[in-house]
Amino acid sequence: MPEWQGKSKGTPLGYKIFIFICRTAGITPAYFLLRFVALYYFLFSPTSTRHIYQYFRQRHHWGKVKACLKVYRNYFVFGQTLLDKIVVMAGISNTFTYDFDGEENLHEMVRRGKGGILLSAHVGNWEAAGHLLRKLNTRINVVMFDGEHQRIKAYLDEVTGGRNFNVIGIKADMSHVYAIGDALRNNELICLHADRFLEGNKTKVKNFLDGQAKFPEGPFALATTFKVPVSIAFAFKESSTHYHFFGSQLLQQQEHEQKTDYTERLMETFVQELEQKVKLYPEQWFNYYKFWD
């Protein structure tokens, strides 16, 4: 069973140090400091290191030495994406550039006037790309488990002026479903991360990267319930200052297609798209727990 608990690591002091460096000296010196932080996690975070090492060994079939080097690289790139997100959201001067594949699909989604759902995962750097999707002229709502420590969250809200998109927190009383419905009726977009779940959630086992892994049914059931167009979207870091966004062609339930069949089709398409992108960007897999059975 996956061991993810809906929480993230980090301290307010750490964020303050890196934001200070970015604002006063630029992002390059901050990246340099990140190399030592990545080394710390590589050496002293045995649980996450073990799982990401097994990911490289068992899913990409790399040798022991290469897998070890890639674990360190994974930590370093993850730190970069966190910094990039803050830099973009806080309006700190930067030289980031972007490629957009499938941007027209999202514009078509907005044009239809019924709202839409973007299915994504904990890979790459969705939030940096989400900042740029403001050009769609509609609000983007991200449905998530808000696992950040409250002091960190408060500090990030202070330095960034709050997130530039609306966060819909997942609630035990299912009130987030009503918030999603309201947003879609306002022709807004909903981003659902469809790769993680907490204990007790309904899941289905899928073949993913030559192994059996559980995926949550909830995001796909929601997409089916609201009968709105769906796009599978990711954003990956391709260099220190360049990102690549991907938005798939729109998916929607066909006439006479049963709800269960459409839900299964959505899940299969998502898993295939995710597998394809993870093979292209293997270092940007950021699930640091036992993902495969």
6: in domain:
no
Q: What are the tens digits of pLDDT across the range 39-68?
A: 999 999 999 999 999 999 999 999 999 999
Beta bridge partners of 143: 168, 192
pLDDT for 4 equals 46
**Once rounded to an integer, what is the mean pLDDT over residues 126-140?**
75
Query: What is the C-alpha separation between 216 and 185, in angstroms, rounded?
Result: 25
Query: What is the C-alpha separation between 260 and 162, in angstroms, rounded?
Result: 38
Q: What pTM does this model have?
A: 0.90
Q: Is the per-residue pLDDT at 152 higher than 60?
A: no
82: in domain:
yes
pLDDT for 36 equals 96
pLDDT for 1 equals 41
The band of 147, judged by pLDDT with boundaries at 50, 70 and 90, is: low
The band of 142, judged by pLDDT with boundaries at 50, 70 and 90, is: confident
The band of 6, judged by pLDDT with boundaries at 50, 70 and 90, is: very low
172: in domain:
yes
114: in domain:
yes
Label residue 241 exposed, middle or buried (CB < 10 Å: 0-12, 13-18, 19+). Answer: middle
7: in domain:
no
Query: What is the C-alpha separation between 182 and 50, in angstroms, rounded?
Result: 42
The band of 150, judged by pLDDT with boundaries at 50, 70 and 90, is: low
78: in domain:
yes
Asked if 19 and 159 count as a contact pair (C-beta separation under 8 A), the reply is yes
291: in domain:
no
**Once rounded to an integer, what is the mean pLDDT over residues 82-87?**
87
Asked if 97 and 88 count as a contact pair (C-beta separation under 8 A), the reply is no
pLDDT for 175 equals 81
Expressed as residue numbers, the domain containing 41 is: 12-284
Q: What are the tens digits of pLDDT across the range 212-242?
A: 999 999 999 988 999 999 999 999 999 999 9
Q: Which of 77-91, 178-192, 269-283 has the highest mean pLDDT?
A: 269-283
Asked if 190 and 184 count as a contact pair (C-beta separation under 8 A), the reply is yes
**Once rounded to an integer, what is the mean pLDDT over residues 179-192?**
93
Question: Hey, how many other C-beta atoms are within 10 angstroms of the C-beta on 284?
Answer: 23
The total domain count for the chain is 1
User: Which of 84-98, 138-152, 170-184, 268-282 is predicted least confidently?
Assistant: 138-152
- The secondary structure of the chain, three-state, reads CCCCCCCCCCCHHHHHHHHHHHHHCCHHHHHHHHHHHHHHHHHHCHHHHHHHHHHHHHHCCCCHHHHHHHHHHHHHHHHHHHHHHHHHHCCCCCCCEEEEECHHHHHHHHHCCCCEEEEECCECCHHHHHHHHHHHCCCEEEEECCCCCHHHHHHHHHHHCCCCCEEEECCCCCHHHHHHHHHHHCCCEEEEECCCCCCCCCEEEEECCCCEEEEECHHHHHHHHHCCCEEEEEEEEEECCEEEEEECCCECCCCCCCHHHHHHHHHHHHHHHHHHHHHHCHHHECCCCCCEC
pLDDT for 159 equals 63
79: in domain:
yes
Length of the chain as a residue count: 293
pLDDT for 56 equals 98
